[in-house]
Structure 1
Amino acid sequence: MATPRVAAGVIYRDGQGRILLAKPTYKDGWDLPGGYVEPGESPLAAARREVVEELGTELPVAGLLLVDWAPHPSEGDKLLFVFDGGTLSPDDYARITPDGEEIDRVDFHDPAALDQLMPDRLVRRVRTALRAGAAGAEHYAEHGAAVLATTTSTS
């Protein structure tokens, strides 16, 4: 029976369509705010907890954008959930205070620059999640590439 590691992250945007990324102190590159799900915790609860821990404030965590099955060569099977945090106001951004231990800093970045900021597997996942959000859909992905899409209903 599979026992994957499970993680959850959140995509936040600013009014210009840039994505909020966090710069971890413990690894190269930038990442989405988020982290591993703890035993007995749901992916949504983990995303909300990690946002508070890493960014120092509560921010909205809304709909699901993506579930990605993405085994890692050194970590084994992984399931990664990406949630939509919506657009942050300047006041929301001003409340962010990175913890300084796990997250050094945060900043908004143009989605076109992701290739220079993070590993390829994460770039694929973020871009697939952004396409899901733009289409009003939830995607199931494998290694960051959409395999199935479900259009979400607002009624």
Structure 2
Amino acid sequence: MTTDEVPAMATPRVAAGALFVNHVGHVLLVRPTYKEHWDIPGGYVEPGESPHNACAREVREELGLDISVGPMLVVDWAPADNEGDKLLFIFDGGMLRAEQEHAIRFLDGELAEWRHVPLDALATHVPARLDRRIRAALGARDQGHAVYAEHGVTTPSL
């Protein structure tokens, strides 16, 4: 790669997702039709769109729910070899009421199913990097403040 091909600044892909938990702390995961693993509801931010607004839009498009997305819990610097630089946001989706769960509809065809997954089973559903990111978001929610992570890892030095 020549210096002419190197961008003058980072141009990361940006995605935003919602963290929903049930009354016993299990995480709501969705199974995309185009991935090998489960995920949280969310997706890429469109040009000119804020991550917060993208999160609400993705929940509406993927689950058919028009919710008020809560505060940011984590922003994760998570470059991927095959996708380049990425900034991934998780916002607090809160706890869905029973009637909201019954109203979930897969409107855009990207999802096949959803379920609440206990923390001790996260690793069997999601990649390790997403497991770490979800746990960082849960910790941030419990502590009452957002955190910064790199590949899902938060440390005092970051």
Aligned length: 149
Contact 1:33 1:54 in 2 (8 A): yes
The correspondence for 2:94, drawn from 77, 86, 89, is 86
Equivalent positions of 1:4-153 (< 5 A) are 4-99=12-107, 101-147=109-155
**Structure 2 residues not aligned, in runs of 5+:** 1-8
Tell me: CA distance 1:69–1:111, structure 2 relative to 1, closer, same or farther (3 Å). same
Render the CA deviation track for 1:46-86: whole Å, top value 9, x for unaligned: 00000001001212310110000000110010000000011
2:28–2:114 contact (8 Å) kept in structure 1: yes
- For 1:40 and 1:23, the matched residues in 2 are separated by 28
What is the TM-score normalised by the length of structure 2? 0.90
Give the whole-Å Cα distance in 2 for the aligned partners of 1:71 and 1:120.
14
Q: Once structures 1 and 2 are overlaid, which stretch shifts more, 53-62 or 77-86?
A: 53-62
Could you list the runs of 4 or more consecutive aligned residues of structure 1 that deviate by over 2 angstroms after TM superposition? none
Tell me the amino acid that sits aligned with residue 145 of structure 1: V
Paired amino acid for 1:74: N
Identity of aligned residues (%): 50
Contact 1:60 1:86 in 2 (8 A): no
Deviation of 1:100 after TM superposition, in Å, equals: 6.2
Partner Cα separation in structure 2 for residue 116 and residue 28 of structure 1: 12
The answer to whether the 8 A contact 1:15-1:88 is kept is no
Residues 3 and 123 of structure 1: is their aligned pair in 2 closer, same or farther, counting only changes over 3 Å? Answer: same
Cα 1:148/1:49, change in 2 over 3 Å: farther
Question: Deviations for 1:66-111, whole angstroms, at most 9, x for unmatched residues?
Answer: 0000001100100000000111111111111123610111111111
CA apart distance, 1:145:
0.5
Whichever residue aligns with residue 23 of structure 2, its letter is G
Greater fraction strand: 1
CA contact (8 A) 1:11 1:84 kept: yes
Conserved? CA contact 1:141–1:148, under 8 Å: no
RMSD: 1.3
